[in-house]
Amino acid sequence: MIRVRNWGAVLGILLAFAVAGISFGQAKSNTLTCVGLYSETSLGSVSYQVGSGGWVVIKAGDVIPANAQVRVNVPQDWIELIPTNDPNTVYLISGSDSGDVTMSVAEILKSTPRTVSFPRQGSSDPKFRNAVVVVQYNSRDIFRQRGKPGRNIQYGDILDASGTISIIAINTTITLMKPDGSTFKVVGPLTFSVEKAMTGQKIYKYLNAP
């Protein structure tokens, strides 16, 4: 049997580990994930930097470290980011004509986000009954409905089945969620009907619908 002579010291060590665990968990939750991205020209790239390291070009799906700063260096470019553990909160950073836009992850998390929602698997929420929801994209995509002007697609947008989606650039993708919570990805360039995509029709060889 092992006898502990100094329970105070042991409790102090356990408390230190507990605090370290909490801090680690908070740091992990403070990372950001890229869910939407548009870079208009090959001259510009949305990127992040940690400390004095080099700038790393961001791709859709990348996780941005909690101690990083994000840079948008072309006026027409933008990026959408969510807290890694919170898909319903989204932050948009857009380029500026006045120069580079650079924000730390901490600054981004203090800015005003947009709130979005998604269907739950097996749910029958009428808001999503005849629509798909944007889960991820990495190009400029346009949504059009008859009699309405086209608009840029953003993360969390609910796109009605009566409209069409245009993926502008070659070999870029958009991931969409159906009302039942399942997702599918489409590769561009391509214009397709939301309704046909929802039914799983092979409208184009690049459509990978279940």
**Per-residue pLDDT, 17:** 33
In this model, does residue 190 exceed pLDDT 80? yes
In this model, does residue 79 exceed pLDDT 90? yes
In this model, does residue 13 exceed pLDDT 80? no
Longest dimension (CA), the chain: 81
What CA–CA distance (Å, rounded) separates 162 from 145?
A: 7
**Per-residue pLDDT, 47:** 95
CB 87 within 8 A of CB 98: no
- Provide the residue ranges of all domains of the chain, joining segments of one domain with +: 31-115, 126-198
CB 133 within 8 A of CB 118: yes
Residue found by looking up tokens 């948009």 in the block? 92
Q: What is the pLDDT averaged over residues 75-99?
A: 96
Instruction: Label residue 52 by pLDDT band (50, 70, 90).
Output: very high
Tens-digit pLDDT profile for residues 106-150: 999 999 999 999 998 766 788 898 999 999 999 889 999 998 999
**Per-residue pLDDT, 123:** 67
**Per-residue pLDDT, 203:** 60
In this model, does residue 209 exceed pLDDT 70? no
pTM to 2 decimals? 0.81
